[in-house]
Amino acid sequence: MKRIALLITLAALLCGCSHKNVLTEVPRGSYTLIEQSRGATLGVSTHGSIKLLFRDGLAFKDLNRNGKLDRYEDWRLSTEKRARDLASKMTLEEICGLMLYSSAQHLKGPELTQGQRDMLEKDHIRHMLVASVPDARTAAEWSNAVQAWCEQARLGIPSNNSSDPRNYSNGSSAINNYRHEPDGEFDPTGTNDISKWPREMGMAATFDIDLMRKHGEMVSAEYRALGITTALSPQADMASDPRWRRFYGTFSEDPYLCRDIVRAYCEGFQNTPGSRTGWGMQSVNCMVKHWPGGGTGEGGRDAHFGMGKYAVYPGGRFDLGLIPFVEGAFKLPGKTRMASAVMPYYTISYGQDPSGANVGNGFSHYIIQELLRDRYRYEGVVCTDWGIVRGYTNVYTHEGTPWGAELLSPAEKRLKCFEAGVDQLGGAKDNEISMEAYHLWEEKYGKDSARERFELSARRLLTNIFNVGVFENPYVDPDEAARIVGCKEFVEAGYEAQLKSVILLKNAGGVLPKINVDGKRWKVYEPLRHVAPGLTHWQVPTPAYDEYFVSKELLGRYFDVCDNPAEADFALVCIKSPVGHWGYVQPSAEYPGGHYQPISLQWGPYTASDARAQSIAGGDPSEEGTNRSYRGFTEESFNVNDMLLVQQTRAEMGDKPVVVFVACERPFIPAEIEPFADALLIGWGVSNNALLDLVSGAAEPYGLLPCQLPADMKTVEEQCEDVPHDMRCYTDADGHSYDFAYGLNWKGVIKDKRTRRYGRR
């Protein structure tokens, strides 16, 4: 970088006095940093053509190479002024490209693929969704390659790379991500190069707001090290229907606990300490989702499919779902003020639009413009959920999700989004279609209106890129990424959160903990778990398999492992919450058109005799009729053997204790397993190490139920999809009701400041 060094030398001579701005060149391989004692640190590609401009002894990047300092290049100016200047300079193609968001990118190496180059060059995309990565170093190198490409484009607009939540343990037997040795030694084996925390519902089970703030600060540090500047999270949906398949990704069914957790999450992610505006190089934009709440799908069905397109409000409590947004994500205590982006859900908020329109939230002028922007004064970016402008063929295949706009052309779908107030289309490319939508706007509202409307979205989108500092320095250090991501401090914190998230529901006779004393090790029996063939949520067949949920090697670190239950002191049975059809059975010989199906929270057969005879909402161009009732149909979970395994183990163990752990995605009906268990624990996304630390007494249970566990499926059918805390809860043999905020520690029922603050109102 001799060119940069020479310019720095000349700038120093021109500055004169030593107390003026001091510039230092720091080579970092593929890029170079220009550090300033009185200004922003600048990052430029080693092999690029960007030159520096000097004004008042300060250095700036000449991003558009015109030899003068444009307002958008001047880091001294406000974000608002910079974004307005840059938006005015952008071509139609560039603005429409900025309003697109890439599909998920699965990285194989640090180089850009041809498809990624096409998105950057042909579609002018500047928002890349990073999915799987080989390791932290590769992710950082790939991010630098993206930014180096963007630096050479006409205006030098950097990429705003993003991620779905990537720091959660999935709770399977393969995730032994942190080996907490009996002597307390740290062993980061299998961390997958990133800290692992409980799933969102597990974080909610801690009822610990400070922990969530800490989580946001640590995870955002890992994100920035990877080159990620936007989090497609948090998921602020109130989990008011227990059957929803995305239940695990929420922060409880309680709107007020959810509000406080979401607020802490956004504050931890977005805030840069010491910054005048709150924004800076430690900030990560939060795209809170899914406005106005996605957890009220009729019958618990999910809107990724046409069969789940309708959100219903039989309890008349549409307002409760807004609380985590308008009182949480949009009212941050820090200087960033509100989550910088929001994502509407796929659902049609049935019957809520005063005009009578029933369209998906991403197409709804009422939901976005009138409610979100006008009533609640939201100022940030609105980005649709992925794929709403694509087409589809039927209600049971996952394709596009254009609910309420199914019959519109591709360009008309995009136009309808923009008319509703949308700034960005998630998972969309084909910039030509967006430009066609622009011209449709011109025809409908005039040329001046079209340019004004699209520049408005460009300013909002550019604001979020300016706020995180990547116009000055978009590059990250791969060595630093390898050091920060999955470091000891962050992994330990995530593991402690896992421990705090597990909930002890039952401990008859104090059978837990099983502490090894005076060299005597407890003998444990873990039965082999058999899982029958099934379907994933995406309707992909899964084969049958057998497994030990906890590996014998790991179990042997804590106890002596017995293959014969007669020789064991106690049994440990690990199962998963019920998994079955997600609300629809595909066409068959008996039902050529397929049929709607109950979503069951029990393992054994369930016949929906108490379901609605007539659905609240219905209708789709690909199906006949509007009644989506599943009344009278019978469902049995694919993993019914989990229930049978608990019952069988009880018989094999006789009077000896049976400890049951349920890895949850959603609530379940405890009646099928609780009578056969002496101790019952549940968790959302915890490693088996954390489970064994609790069972062995190395840690004490701390978690509280973030949701109700229902007494039976009748109460599930009778509850309202939009109302929390409205089920009859299961009561166990010890007389404990499995209600919201209930949990045990070794002393008994937990009663502390958390239960006083969030207990049933």
Q: How many CA atoms lie within 13 A of 397 on its CB side?
A: 9
Q: How far apart are CA 346 and CA 324, in angstroms?
A: 18
User: Which tens digit of pLDDT belongs to each residue from 267-315?
Assistant: 999 999 999 999 999 999 999 999 999 999 999 999 999 999 999 999 9
Domains of the chain: residue spans and CATH: 2-82 (no CATH), 502-582+598-605+635-758 (3.40.50.1700)
Q: State how far the Cα of 23 lies from the Cα of 545, in Å rounded to an integer.
A: 62
User: pLDDT tens digit string along 432-477?
Assistant: 999 999 999 999 999 999 999 999 999 999 999 999 999 999 999 9
- Residue 17 pLDDT: 44
Q: Which pair of tokens denotes residue 347?
A: 């659902």
**Residue 405: predicted pLDDT:** 98
Residue 220 confidence (pLDDT) above 70: yes
Strands 31-36 and 744-745: unpaired
Instruction: Return the ∠ at Cα 176 (arms to 173 and 179), rounded to 5°.
Output: 145
Which residues have CB under 8 Å from 91's CB, separation 6+? none
Helix (H, G, I), strand (E, B) or coil at 45: strand
Residues in CB range of 13: below 8 A, 6 or more apart: none
Average pLDDT over residues 653-663: 98
Residue range 671-682, pLDDT digits in tens: 999 999 999 999
**pLDDT band, residue 534 (cuts 50/70/90):** very high
**Count of other CB atoms within 10 angstroms of residue 614:** 10
Cα gap 722→307, rounded to integer Å: 18
- What would the pLDDT profile of 465-494 be if each residue is shown by its tens digit? 999 999 999 999 999 999 999 999 999 999
Residue 554's contacts (CB-CB under 8 Å, 6 or more residues apart) are 176, 179, 688, 689, 692
**Three-class DSSP labels, 290-317:** EECCCCCEHHHCCCCCHHHCEECCCCCC
Crossing angle of helices 447-467 and 431-445, rounded to 10°: 130
Nearest by Cα to 380 from 252, 289, 473, 483: 289
pLDDT of residue 16: 44
CA distance 37 to 386: 43
For the chain, give the percent of residues with pLDDT over 90. 91
CB distance 684 to 503 below 8 Å: no
pLDDT score for 19: 65
| Mean pLDDT calculated for residue range 553-581 | 97
What integer is the mean pLDDT of 86-115? 97
The answer, yes or no, to whether residue 228 has pLDDT greater than 50, is yes
Least-confidence region, from 563-572, 588-597, 697-706, 733-742: 588-597
| Residue of 165, 237, 160, 164 lying closest to 460 (CA atoms) | 160
pLDDT digits (tens, 9 = 90+) for 23-70: 999 999 999 999 999 999 999 999 999 999 999 999 999 999 999 999
Which tens digit of pLDDT belongs to each residue from 569-606? Answer: 999 999 999 999 999 999 989 898 899 999 999 999 99
| Angstrom distances, CA of residue 754 to CA of 204, 209, 378, 626, 751 | 11, 10, 31, 45, 8
pLDDT at position 11 is: 52
Label residue 191 by pLDDT band (50, 70, 90). Answer: very low
Which residue would you say has higher pLDDT here, 140 or 3? 140
Given this model, what pLDDT does residue 518 score?
A: 86
What average pLDDT does range 629-658 have in this prediction?
98
Average pLDDT over residues 189-212: 87
pLDDT at 179 exceeding the cut of 50: no
**Mean pLDDT of the chain, nearest integer:** 94
3-state secondary structure of 473: coil
Q: Can you give the pLDDT at residue 440?
A: 98
Percent of all residues in the chain with a pLDDT value above 70, rounded to a whole number: 94
Mean pLDDT on 626-630: 97
DSSP assigned state of 469: T
Q: Residue 178 pLDDT more than 60?
A: no
Q: What value does the mean pLDDT take over residues 543-552? A: 95
Where does the pLDDT of residue 537 fall: very low under 50, low under 70, confident under 90, or very high at 90 and above?
Answer: confident
Between the CA of residue 486 and those of 95, 135, 321, what are the distances in Å? Answer: 37, 10, 34
198: how many CB neighbours lie within 10 A of its CB?
Answer: 31
Amino acid letter, 60: F
Categorize the per-residue pLDDT at 519 as very low, low, confident or very high, splitting at 50, 70 and 90.
confident
Q: Which two tokens stand for residue 666?
A: 């959603």
pLDDT for 268 equals: 98
For range 404-419, the mean pLDDT: 98
Rounded to an integer, the average pLDDT of 642-650 is 98
pLDDT of residue 7: 52
Number of H helices, E strands in the chain: 20, 30
* Residue burial 452-491, b: 16+ Cβ < 10 Å; e: rest: ebbbebbbbbbbbbbbbbbbbbbbbbbeebbebbbbeebb
**Using 50, 70 and 90 to split pLDDT, how confident is the model at 538?**
confident
What integer is the mean pLDDT of 397-407?
96
φ and ψ at 659, to 5 degrees?
Answer: -105, 125
Nearest one of 412, 348, 340 to 383, comparing CA atoms: 340
pTM: 0.95
